[in-house]
Every structure is written in structure tokens, then in C-alpha cells.
Amino acid sequence: MTILLPHLAPSALPAPLGGTLVSRLRHPGLDFDPAELAGLPRLALSDRSAADLEMLATGAYSPLTGFVGEADYLSIIERLRLADGTPWSVPITLPVSREDAARLRGRVVLTVAGQDVGWIDVQESYEARKALEAREVYRTEDEAHPGVAALYAQGDYNLAGEVALFDVPRGAFPGHHRTPAEVRTVIEARGWRSTVAFQTRNPIHRAHEYLQKVALELVDGLLLHPLVGTTKGDDVPADTRVKAYEVLLAGYYPQARTLLSVYPAAMRYAGPREAILHALSRRNYGVTHFIVGRDHAGVGSYYGTYDAQEIFSAYSTDELGVQILKFEHTFYCNSCGQLVSPRTCPHDSSHHLVLSGTKVREKLRAGEDLPAEFTRPEVAEVLRAAYTGRA
């Protein structure tokens, strides 16, 4: 049965945030002479900064053209906007030590594993307000929070300026690694006038599948967009997750209406603030709708169950340029015999099948089966093979 809602009428691809999809790709030998880099200072990037460089250069973080300066940094932290008023929720910074901040001027070559990957034209350096950033962006100064721990561990100064990236690092998933421009091309080629994106850093279980398919009743296409950048050490590895997505989509989703494409950003675990970042960047990939469920981008008990949905009230729909689909916690009810939410199920929790991440990992390490009501057997097999192999 197809459900039609007037306020979710199909629409064309949204304009990128700021009106133009940023491109800061500069190819050696085509756009510049590599000899020009000889003698320039160099700066080694962390995994997170390398991911941010790609997101900036490919336009995923449009309208940003580089790591933010102090005015934007403070405005994002305090107002959830760039200094010019554009919605933005998480400062994209290039942290360095005090010594590097003092020595790096002009064009600086950026490196990963000793290889030149891009540059930054340093326009500004300034001291990070780490305590303020932790309180406002992460809503805590507790160093047990992985995002706060990463913030406190990085350099005390930030470099700002426009960037260039020499090549898109397709990495371990070349068949699924697409830039925003490339995703837009696929959407247009398939004729989708409306597309919903789903963000995940975990394997998809039946509750996720339910949300995606409810959303797919409302729009033309689904962009399954798993984050494959740096995550916590106890998260399921990216290669295992991608295998799980592949077997799930092959068996249970309409191929013409789904697209699996990886999202190369690093995870910050900033909860509500990161939900906004995920939505705005997906607009740049060309989607019209974005799913925000329970505790989006959360960790531990730092955020309320639906804080990541409520924070979007800070912006108008026109400002966001993407419609937010808000879903409640979904689970399998043994008495209803199907996937439900608190809106549709009359039974108390004793009737519900809910497995914590810890319990799932315990079962996988022990080689046990996961309930079919919780996850598809093909996905469970991928996960079990990965966990028993590591054990």
C-alpha cells in the first residue's frame, strides 16, 4: 500500500547549501605543477582531519571552502550558524599545536601517511576554546565522552583557510565511494524527484529496515549512506558493515529504488548537533528528506532520546532545504507479531524484543544465532563470521 502525504510531495534535487556545490579538487599535473610544492611546509593530518579535508573539497560540507576561521568557529558554537547566518552546527577545524600554529604560514602541504594529499592556504590561526566547544557542541565536558576526549587530545590552536584535495581517496569501497556530485548524477539519471537518506554507523537491523521502507513509501528513492570514517573502537568495523548492507539490499530492497554509497566523514558522537550536520551535508548530496530516529549520533546517556529531533526547531524548513522525517523507537512486538513503535503498539515492554548492542556482540562472539525478528539471517551470518573470525 502506498501512503501519500501532502507535505511530502516529490520535489526536484535541492540546491546545495549556499547555492553552489563547492569543489576544491586540484589534480597534480592538470591543475598545477607538482614542482610548485617543493620546499613548502608540510603538516600531517589525523584521520579525522583527513576525512574533513575530503568532505570540504568534494562539497559535502558546502558552503565551506576550507577549515573555519575564528568568527565562524565562535558563531557555530554559540549560534548554530556561520557568521553570515547560514545554518551550521559543528565547527570543522584543523587543530594543530602551538608550535605548528606559529610556524605555518601561507600555503601548507597536507600529508597522510607521508604522502602529499592536498594543501591549505593559511589565512588565520587562533586558539581553540575547548571547554566552550565541549559544553556547547557535545553538551558535556566529561572526557569519557569519545568526542570530548578527541577534542581535548588534539592541538590547542586551529588553522583556517581554503583547502585543495589532490584526489578522492576511494579507499576500501571504490564501488560505493561517491562524491556529492556523483550521487547527484545517479539520482538524476534514475529520475528520482525525491530521495530519503539514512545515516548509520551500525549494521542495519529489522527496526532500521522498517523505518527505511516506511520512508520509501513516501519518496522515489533511498540513499543508504553509512558512515565509514573513524568510529569508536568497539563499533562494528566498516568493512563488515558494508558487507552486511550489500547482502541486505540484494535480498530485501528494490534495486531500482535504492543506492548504497559510503559517507566518508569521521564520527564525532555529538548527538543533536551532529544530526544537523548529517542532514545539511546530505542536502549537498542531493536528497530531499533525511531520517532522524532515536538518539541520532548519540553515545552513552549524554543526550535525551529525541533531543536530535527537537534541535531542528532552531531552523526553518526553508533554511534546512531538506525535510526531516522523525521516527520514534521501533521494535518487534511478540504479541503484535510485527515491527511497531510506541505509537502503534498497546503492549508493555515485556512483550517486546529489544537487544542491546552489548548483548548482540556477546551472542556474535559466542557464535549464537540472532533472532530473525531482530535482524535478517544473511546479515546475522555476516556479523557472526566477522566476530567469530576475530575471536
Instruction: Let me know if 201 is a catalytic residue.
Output: yes
Instruction: Let me know if 202 is a catalytic residue.
Output: yes
DSSP string covering 139-187: S---TTSHHHHHHHHS-SEEEEEEEEESS---TT-TTTB--HHHHHHHH
CA 21 to chain centre: 18
Which residue's entry shows cell 511530502?
Answer: 8
Main-chain phi, psi angles of 172, to 5 degrees:
-80, -10
DSSP string covering 226-295: EB-S---TTSPPHHHHHHHHHHHHHHHS-GGGEEE-BB-PPP---THHHHHHHHHHHHHTT-SEEEE-TT
Residue of 184, 201, 282, 376 with catalytic role: 201
User: For residues 191 and 367, what is the distance between their CA atoms, to the nearest angstrom?
Assistant: 43
Cell numbers standing for residue 205: 537491523
Residue of 26, 135, 202, 361 with catalytic role: 202
Main-chain phi, psi angles of 225, to 5 degrees:
-125, 70
Q: By the 8 A CB rule, do 297 and 285 touch?
A: no
- DSSP label of 92: -
Give me the active site residues, please.
201-202
